[in-house]
Amino acid sequence: MSVSLFKKNRGIVEQIDIQEAYNIWNWLRIRYNSMETFQFYQNLLHDRDFSLLMDSLLADTKKHMKTMEQEAEKFKIPVPDRPPLEIKFPGSINQVTDRFIYKKIFADMMAELFTISRAVRSSTTNDRLRKIFTEDMLTHIDNFELLYKYSKVKAWEDVPPAYKMAGPAVKENLTLTEAFHLWDHLSQRYDQLQMTTLFLGAVHDPDFEMILSKGKDTLNKQIKELEQQVLKYGVIFPERPPAHQIMTIDPETLTDSFMYSVIFTGIVEAMDLHMRAVIETIKNDALRDLFLGLLKEEVNIFDKYLKYGKTKGWTKVTPIYGEPLS
């Protein structure tokens, strides 16, 4: 169920909170900077295929930029200065290589992904706006993948040191950071499973109990998948949680709203964990697809869990943008 919040004394007017207003302004700021960078470096490219890829990335940026400018106008949010419509200069500078340009664009897109993902998880008042941020984030991830897959063909990427596997060699090895992300994901899922099992022994609301049970099933499914990957690549296992959890405190001391908030924080942290893994898994394509699948699943869970919390009145209410103080 989609929940919308409206101003009480001005008729039916769509609201955003102060963080969402900042997210719109900040989104435009980083995209304006990115667009200017793209336009500048387009003059220096040598490789035609790379030039066509840059055209595609710029077209997506302009499309999403127009949407966000409309949102800023709708909610009367001041916007940063726009970049020039076009940056052109004659000739080319051969000393500026395509590999150098790739690294600059790659760094920009990586920074943008962190900013956009934060906009998704911090836009909690306006469900429609959060959906716009989410769609933009997923498109940006697709473009990010196109860019570094192209860089692998050109051998432009910087590959971290390889992880020295304890088991037999496999077709595609891991870098140090990819091995860490596998270990880190499994470690977090073990902790979240233990916490969810504890809360299931104290939950009061039948609907919330059903949601926690489904969450536990999802965690168990993901744990099995991650354990298979850990075994496959010979990564050391983190400590596993106990097989069952015994409640040693009075369940009445744990309110459903408190348990909801703890789980919500865990979901937000998991989204950030998945995003970092997607960005930093640059060698092993199959493993990156796994992390990307986890991210998409977590974003969907986040959206549904947030809307459920609104119906229960358990979510924290962020101050509304433009709301009078008295």
Fold identical between 18-154 and 176-312?
A: yes
* Residue 89: per-residue pLDDT: 65
* pLDDT higher than threshold 70 for residue 3: no
The domain 18-154 is classified under which CATH number: 1.10.357.10, 1.10.1050.10, 1.20.1260.10, 3.40.50.970? 1.20.1260.10
Token couple for 220: 């168990």
Residue of 86 and 230 predicted with greater confidence: 230
The CATH architecture of the domain made up of 176-312 is Up-down Bundle (1.20)
Q: Which of 164-168, 228-232, 320-324 has the lowest mean pLDDT?
A: 164-168
State percent of the chain over pLDDT 70. 89
**Quick count: other Cβ atoms within 10 Å of Cβ 178?**
26
Helix (H, G, I), strand (E, B) or coil at 13: coil
| Amino acid letter, 125 | T
> 252: closest CA among 212, 291, 201?
201
Residues 6+ apart with CB under 8 A from 170: 232, 233
Residue type, 131: K
What pLDDT, in 10s, does the model give residues 28-47?
Answer: 999 999 888 888 888 888 89
| Residues written for the chain | 326
Under the banding of pLDDT at 50, 70 and 90, the label for residue 153 is very high
pLDDT digits (tens, 9 = 90+) for 100-150: 999 999 999 999 999 999 999 999 999 999 999 999 999 999 999 999 899
pLDDT over 50 at 244, yes or no: yes
CB 5 within 8 A of CB 125: yes
* Segment among 16-25, 52-61, 167-176 with least mean pLDDT: 167-176
Mean pLDDT check: name the lowest of 16-30, 31-45, 307-321: 31-45
Q: What kind and span of H or E run contains 183?
A: helix 176-200
**What is the residue extent of each domain of the chain?**
18-154, 176-312
Residue 8 is predicted with a pLDDT of: 44
Evaluate whether 196 touches 215 at the Cβ level (below 8 Å): yes
Amino acid 90: pLDDT: 61
Tell me: the pLDDT tens digits for 267-295?
A: 999 999 999 999 999 889 999 999 999 99
Higher pLDDT, 201 or 261: 261
Tell me which residue has tokens 């949407």.
67
